[in-house]
Amino acid sequence: MAAKPMFVLGLMSGTSADGIDVALARISGAAPNLNAKLLGHTSFQFPPALRKEILRVAEQQPISAGELSQLHFRLGHIYADAILAACKKFRIPPRRVDLIGNHGQTIFHQGPPISYFGSPTASTLQIGEGSVIAARTGITTVADFRPSDMALGGQGAPLVPYADYVLYRHRKLGRISLNIGGIANVTVIPAGARPDQVFGFDTGPGNMLIDALVQHFTHGRQRFDKDARLAQSGRSIPALLNELMKDPYLKLAPPKSTGREYYGQASLKKLLALGRRHRAKPADLIRAATIFTALSVVDALNRFVLRKHKIHQLIVSGGGAHSPLILAQLAAAFPRIEVLPSSRFGISEDGKEAFAFALLAYEAFHKRPANLPSATGASGPAILGKISYAPPR
């Protein structure tokens, strides 16, 4: 393969469906000497009606095969529009971009197998047709990253640990990369770790329940709790928080993954009922959900990580990295661990996952595996993603 660097665009639209993050990366080499630099990051919101439909479908509401097909292709066009707009913003013509990595929009994820027509079956579905993106942009596109890991018995998630290992490994420092998106997930990178010693898992809810409460109580006027202002205005209700911490998912041992199927509308209804039982005002309940996100991370690290591994730094990215309340909880829980934003490493908190899928696309293009079986539970390495080649020029 050519040694010269490739310009790669990574796209991520997470479980909250709050928009599309686009990252431009310059990547060269091969692991363990892979060189990757984030050159720019931007984001775009979904049209409100489309976002509403995405969330409706992700909540497992009925949809016909025809409507699902239409949504899959419509999202391909929406992603292509985002890429072309991002190229303008980054001042790079599409013809200079070598590759696109698009995670796609998750509308279903069943990591552990469940019985289906009499046989244990796991499955996942991310939509946004890669062939449409490749045709509209003229750029070869890698999409649909999760199935090849699941075909080897993995949960297809989390996939970002490979990128975390490339970005954050250190000979002497043990590090954890924590991303707080709709769902919160961690990658554990012990000092001097080999790839097979790195592991990761979804710890539980990230911003998903907080955002859902904010949208519920503001009747959609606000989509998230900026700088945790609402949460910080609420009072603490310890008995309510104790109820939340009984969540069975927290006790499951890794590898494990979760999503809107578990922390979606059903969880929101339970949370609202719990709030009524404890006579919580809206800000009280938003505060409880925010602290629950932080404490579910703390519980996961104490339960599954810190008993076995010496950790020096906790590197935080995702929307939750902007919450002073979450960061304060983490710092208080881990006084001997340095809590740092990913921007200290040259990677914007909001662009980190999109950057990761640029890296995964680069590896797929070079026919190299990029799952970490120690994180996903797969029986072996897998080359992730499906390639849609750009039409001939």
Whether 39 and 149 map to the same domain: the answer is yes
E strand or H helix that includes residue 262:
helix 260-263
Give, in degrees to the nearest 5, the angle at Cα 314 between 309 and 315.
135
**331 and 365: one domain?**
no
Q: Let me know if residue 298 belongs to a domain.
A: yes
* Residue type present at position 95: R
CB 133 within 8 Å of CB 101: no
Taking a C-beta distance cutoff of 8 angstroms, is the pair 78, 136 a contact?
A: no
Q: What integer pLDDT is reported at residue 1 of this predicted model?
A: 44
Q: Which residues contact 260 (CB under 8 A, 6 or more apart)?
A: 15, 55, 58, 59, 106, 182, 208
- Residue 372 in any domain: the answer is yes
Amino acid at 18: D
> Are residues 331 and 382 located together in one domain of the fold?
no
Q: Which residues lie closer than 8 Å to 152 by C-beta, 6 or more apart? A: 373, 378, 379, 380, 382
Q: How far apart are CA 209 and CA 215, in angstroms?
A: 10
Structure tokens at 221: 């006027």
First-to-last C-alpha distance (Å) of the chain: 21
The whole domain housing 315 covers 163-345
| CATH code of residue 174 | 3.30.420.40
- Does 360 lie in the same domain as 337? no
Nearest to 154 by CA among 248, 304, 264, 254: 254
Indicate whether 1 belongs to any domain. Answer: no
Q: Are residues 198 and 282 in the same domain?
A: yes
Do the beta carbons of residue 387 and residue 142 sit within 8 Å?
Answer: yes
Same domain, 325 and 237: yes
d(CA 175, CA 193): 10
Pair (229, 143) in one structural domain: no
Instruction: Give, in degrees to the nearest 5, the angle at Cα 290 between 287 and 294.
Output: 135
Show pLDDT as tens, one digit a residue, over the chain (393 residues): 447 899 999 999 988 888 999 999 999 999 878 999 999 999 999 999 999 999 999 999 999 999 999 999 999 999 999 999 999 999 999 999 999 999 999 999 999 999 999 999 999 999 999 999 999 999 999 999 999 999 999 999 999 999 999 999 999 999 999 999 999 999 999 999 998 999 999 999 999 999 999 999 999 899 999 999 999 999 999 999 999 999 999 999 999 999 888 999 999 999 999 999 999 999 999 999 999 999 999 999 999 999 999 999 999 999 999 999 999 999 999 999 999 999 999 999 999 999 999 999 999 999 999 999 999 999 999 999 999 999 998
Is residue 365, in this structure, part of any structural domain at all?
Answer: yes
Q: Looking at the structure, tell me whether residues 215 and 337 fall in a common domain.
A: yes
Q: Count of domains in the chain? A: 2
User: In this structure, are 341 and 368 located in the same domain?
Assistant: no
From residue 384, how far is each of 225, 274, 381 by CA, in Å? Answer: 35, 41, 9
Q: Is residue 393 part of a domain?
A: no
Task: Write down which residue in 345, 363, 379 finishes a domain.
Answer: 345
Nearest residue to 89 via CA among 35, 37, 20, 141: 20
How does 8-22 read in b/e, with b if 16+ C-beta sit within 10 Å? bbbbbbbbbbbbbbb
User: Based on the domain organization, do 70 and 203 belong to the same domain?
Assistant: no
Cα–Cα distance for residue pair 127/72, rounded to 1 Å: 5
**Cα–Cα nearest to 230, from 294, 155, 286:** 286
- pLDDT at 32 (0 to 100): 78
Maximum separation of any 2 CA atoms in the chain, in Å:
64
My answer on whether 246 and 274 are in the same domain is yes
Q: Does residue 173 sit in the same domain as residue 314?
A: yes
3-state secondary structure (DSSP) of residue 6: strand
**Is there a domain that residue 276 lies in?**
yes
Give the tokens for residue 388: 């849609």
Q: Is residue 88 part of a domain?
A: yes
Tell me the C-alpha distance between 234 and 285, whole Å: 8
Q: Give the Å distances, CA to CA, from 228 to 102, 110, 177, 323.
A: 30, 31, 22, 5
Return phi, psi of residue 92, to 5°. -130, 120
Question: What's at 322, amino acid-wise?
Answer: H
CB-based contacts of 166, cutoff 8 Å, min separation 6: 31, 32, 34, 36, 359
* Residue 84 resides in a domain: yes
